[in-house]
Amino acid sequence: MTPQAMSVEARSRRPQRSELSVPATSTRFFAKAAASAADAIVLDLEDGVAAGRKDEARAAAIAALNEVDWGPRIMSVRVNGIGTPWCHRDIVEVAEACPRLDRIVLPKAGESFDIRFLAALLDGVEAAMARPRIGIAALVETAKGVGRAEEIAEAHPRVETVIFGLGDYMREMRTPDTVVGLPNPDYALSGAANDQWHYALARIANACRGAGVRPIDAVYADFRDAAGLRASAIRSRALGYEGKWAIHPDQVAPINAVFSPDEARIAWARKVLATLARAEAAGAGAATEDGMMVDAVHALMARDILRQAGLEA
């Protein structure tokens, strides 16, 4: 039986804590990626592939999507950017040949036109074929893209996630950094309370929540630095992100742990809902829990936590 993509509704219910990126020419890593605990996998045709191997990478991604058992996870292909010699063929050929494809990741998304261009190509493919709807993950990794984060997040109903792409953003901002994701000590010495990426992270997260799409954080390039990865993930979680990209299978478990509600948060959620249920039975809309007032907003927060934990409220 030919594997099929998830429906849009099924994708929206799936957790997206970790998204493991694998260069499509690194076929020896496909089995390891498929056996990982990543919630989502991206087969990369762009930065992870040399210019002379683009056609080979596209063919490998198509074969992998059709032949590898990826299990119940969100599957994406990162195509080459608009304006490159490979973009159009990447989009059309992968979308036509891969019923298992869930999303296209569009690199260097800089404005709503970029999203609409991709959506129009996908409209044409889907009009010609009976296949599940393909979503869009917009990779925002330029100064222009960060400045138009709201426009990009709201550009088209196909947009399901916006991902912060830090590597290209670092280069474009001309910052004196060499490790993607590592806070710059010069910025810390300045007395700033946050790191140098706080503005971009916060703006993208706010744009996503305003548009009803998921914000996903950038990679942390030093896959041997477990403490740095965890700190980076905790920072983005605090800003409202739902998950983070990974470039190595060893990064998946720590990322999943950070973006999964822990037992203390689950216990708090259950306690709040129980307290509010008792208050409602008594005719009250709010109650006191551990010396703090809880009301309808806290009920929504508690239900979100239980849904994230796979425990429907």
Distance between CA atoms of residues 157 and 144, nearest Å: 21
% of the chain at pLDDT higher than 90 = 65
Whole-number pLDDT of residue 200: 94
Three-class DSSP labels, the chain = CCCCCCCHHHHHHCCCCEEEEEECCCHHHHHHHHCCCCCEEEEECCCCCCHHHHHHHHHHHHHHHHHCCCCCCEEEEECCCCCCCCHHHHHHHHHHHCCCCCEEEECCCCCHHHHHHHHHHHHHHHHHCCCCCCEEEEEECCHHHHHCHHHHHCCCCCEEEEEECHHHHHHHHCCCCCCCCCCCHHHHHCCCCCCCCHHHHHHHHHHHHHHCCEEEECCCCCCCCHHHHHHHHHHHHHCCCCEEEECCHHHHHHHHHHCCCCHHHHHHHHHHHHHHHHHHHCCCCCEEECCEEECHHHHHHHHHHHHHCCCCC
pLDDT of residue 214: 96
Q: Confidence class of residue 257 from pLDDT cuts 50, 70 and 90?
A: very high
Pairwise CA distance, residues 146 & 200, whole Å: 6
Question: Which residues contact residue 281 at a Cβ distance below 8 angstroms, ignoring those fewer than 6 apart?
Answer: none
In this prediction, residue 188 carries a pLDDT of 62
Which pLDDT band, with edges at 50, 70 and 90, does 313 fall under? Answer: low
pLDDT of residue 272: 83
With CA atoms as reference, report the closest residue to 16 among 304, 236, 255.
Answer: 255
For residue 184, name the pLDDT band (cuts at 50, 70, 90).
Answer: low
On the question of pLDDT at 273 being above 90, the answer is no
Q: Torsions phi, psi of 106, nearest 5?
A: -100, 110
Question: What is the rounded average pLDDT of the residues 275-291?
Answer: 80
CA atoms lying within 13 Å on the CB side of residue 66: 13
Averaged pLDDT, 267-289: 82
What confidence tier does 187 reach under pLDDT thresholds 50, 70, 90? low
pLDDT at res. 265: 87
Average pLDDT, the chain: 90
CB of 49 within 8 A of CB of 23? yes
* Of the listed ranges 98-112, 183-197, 212-226, the one predicted with least confidence: 183-197
Longest dimension (CA), the chain: 70
pLDDT classification of 35: cutoffs 50, 70, 90:
very high
Q: Which of 88-92, 100-104, 179-183 shows the lowest per-residue confidence on average (mean pLDDT)?
A: 179-183
The token pair at 171 is 């280069």
**pLDDT value, residue 207:** 98
Q: 0.85 exceeded by the pTM?
A: yes
Residue 132: burial class (beta carbons within 10 Å; 0-12, 13-18, 19+): middle
The pLDDT-based confidence of 196 (bands split at 50, 70, 90) is confident
Q: What mean pLDDT is predicted for residues 10-34? A: 94
pLDDT confidence tier of residue 6, bands split at 50, 70 and 90: confident
List pLDDT tens digits, range 116-146: 999 999 999 999 988 889 999 999 999 999 9
Give yes or no for residue 186 having a pLDDT over 70: no
Residue 145 identity (one-letter amino acid): G
**Banded pLDDT at 190 (limits 50, 70, 90):** low
